[in-house]
Amino acid sequence: MRVVRISVPTPFYVGPVNVYLIAEDPLTIIDTGPKTKEAIDALRAGLRAAGFLLSDIRRIVLTHAHEDHCGLARAVRDEAKNAEVLVHEWETGHRHSRLEYEEHRQLLVRAGVPEEEIEMMRRMYDGVRQYADSLADHEYAPLWDENELQFASGSLRILHTPGHTPGSCSFLREADRTLIAGDCVLKRITPNPVLSPDPLNPARRFPSLAEYLVSLARLRACSPTLVYGGHGDPVHDFEELFHRYFRAVQQRQGEVIGLVKKSGVTAWDVALAMFPNADDVHRFLAVSEAVAHLDLAHSERKIALELKGPTEVYKPAT
Ligand SMILES: [Zn+2]
Ligand SMILES: [Zn+2]
């Protein structure tokens, strides 16, 4: 099975995104790049270098529905005359190219984010969503955990690996234990568990970091020999990276618990203390990171949680 990495530029801070071409019948791409002219040109050029046209694509598989990964899904599908688009059902919040705004707002209020910051984050998100076309529910086919994507000469096993987003998926080729993992595994960056409503109960938030650690352990149990991530170079030593991630999580847990004062702190207070210089999109990611770590510490009873009106306030465990 021939896997070709195509690096596609994005207008985002993260830099280029990886699209993976599975040069097999049915011709498949995993992720697409954002909806920009530069991205579709790069995708076209990458396909051409591998001997294909965009219109040859029969199947578009999305690791998750962030704009840099899914933005071109509709354009590619249309040019490829109704290629199939697959994504996990838990990506609903993102895949319409809009956050369920009211649900997110409530999560941000609970995290103690001030009203004017929430308004700024909304405006920022309005800017980001232009980089993806929306598709209706019936235009997607679902990815199911433990099912297989079939190809003429083999298959990829679908692994639901939530954490970065609720519906993030990875794809394992068992013959040589190579893995395509989207933003679940990145060589240089520790993936951010992004603040999301729980797909099963949108009034609650998704326990992203706890889920992420389970997903990482599950990937580790596959003993991958090579991991293709959503950004940057492939990872040859997953075991080393796994331990590095766990150390980073533990270190941050210590840091976050240390910021929880007797007088009580919100996730927003913790985010500002950890990332005093974060601006625009990074404020949202900073809050995501703070909430994810506070949730994990609270679930392990290392800190206490009280409600103050609509806002959650954390205090040292008693
Ligand atoms: Zn992502
Ligand atoms: Zn990404």
The per-residue pLDDT for range 10-36, each reduced to its tens digit, is: 999 889 999 999 999 999 999 999 999
What percentage of the chain reaches a pLDDT higher than 90? 78
Instruction: Using a cut of 0.85, tell me whether the model's pTM lies above it.
Output: yes
Model pLDDT, residue 85:
96
Length of the chain equals: 318
pLDDT band at 110 (very low <50, low <70, confident <90, very high): very high
Q: Which ligand minimizes its atom distance to the CA of 189?
A: 2
- Span from the CA of 191 to the centroid of ligand 1 (angstroms): 8
- Span from the CA of 259 to the centroid of ligand 1 (angstroms): 27
Across the chain, the runs of DSSP E, i.e. the strands, are 3-8, 17-22, 28-30, 59-61, 84-87, 141-142, 148-151, 154-160, 169-173, 178-182, 197-198, 201-205, 226-229, 303-308, 311-316
- Span from the CA of 274 to the centroid of ligand 1 (angstroms): 21
Q: What are 209-247's pLDDT values in tens digits?
A: 999 999 999 999 999 999 999 999 999 999 999 999 999
- Span from the CA of 17 to the centroid of ligand 2 (angstroms): 6
pLDDT band at 109 (very low <50, low <70, confident <90, very high): very high
Q: Which ligand minimizes its atom distance to the CA of 34?
A: 2
Pick the closest to residue 284 from 129, 113, 98, 101 (CA basis).
113
